[in-house]
Structure 1
Amino acid sequence: MTEKQQHSPPDAPDLGQLNTKATMLRLVAARFKAMADTATSDLQAEMLRQHTASGVKSISAKIGDTKVGAWTVKEPQAPGKVVIADRPAFTDWVFLNQPGLTRWELVIVGASETALLADAVHDEAAGLVVHRETNEVLPGLAWQPSPAPSSVAQTWTADGRDHVMQFLRDGAMASLMTAALQIEPAES
């Protein structure tokens, strides 16, 4: 026994046991994290592929027949937006059609640009950006679609975590530990 161990309070935890426990759990946690990252990446890639191919937006996460949560494709907030693709062409149009919104240098005055963009809409059939009220094609503007979904989010049911923990206690933990530690299961 070392001098420090001799002077530890009688109810102090055993340093050797704490060291062993922390070392083993950190190793297992790192292996599980790597496995979870790979499994999540594989699931996300397949869900995004199926979303693009056939519109799959969400799947239930189940343990046996019990729904414990869901995985859902995260859609962009906005459907896309009108952007200025050719500033000189747009500025020329504003000067000719709404000259009060420009100065002699042919720049669009302040917040007027934001207001004009708000009046611009995407005509899907024509593939052009037009004025909301006049339906006039607005030169220099283009439609910038939202990017394709690029992630998947997991949610849990109210008791989903409890169901998963019970499933692990009922035997699934052994197979996960075997995979995490890359050991061969014992012959029965």
Structure 2
Amino acid sequence: TPYVDLRGRLVADLLLEHLREQGAVRPALIVGAGSRHSSVDAVAAYERRAEEHGWTPVVARVPESGGEQAGYECCAALLAEHPGIDAVCALVDAFAVGAVRAVRDSGRAVPDDVMVVTRYDGLRARTCEPPLTAVDLHLDRAASDAVELLLGRLRGDTAPLVAVSPKPRVIARASSLRTARA
């Protein structure tokens, strides 16, 4: 089946490296409970990074249908069970918005006590308070590539085609910037 590769492992690597550069030593990962490539790739990247940097792995899988409230409940539980968490990489933007609320309700501050980042640079990421560090996935290009793959399939192209999106770029925002203020 033709598809557009949004480079999930690289996206997770970029976010985790950003957190490490900002001083994270005990980051947690929150992903969707399904088997989406972005979640599977992120868990693999996180586990590799955890081993490299000596992090104790803390991974939570949450049904995406739960949205912001699921992110809130998951993050609140993680913070209670692992009070040393100093960063949360919540791949789903709704989870990240809920995580920000959970951090605050736990009496901690974003980003001073717990940094929060997400994968998708959408409206939720940009309008969250503080604004969420996210990734430019070049979705305009990905959408165009997907249309071209679909049109090719409709024309009868049968070769399995993969369009690889341009290199993703972290858009650092207030939810994770520590060193700039240190």
Question: If the TM-score is normalised by the length of the shorter chain, which range does it land in?
Answer: under 0.3
What's the TM-score, normalizing by structure 1? Answer: 0.22
What's the TM-score, normalizing by structure 2? Answer: 0.23
From the CA coordinates, give the structure whose radius of gyration is larger: 1
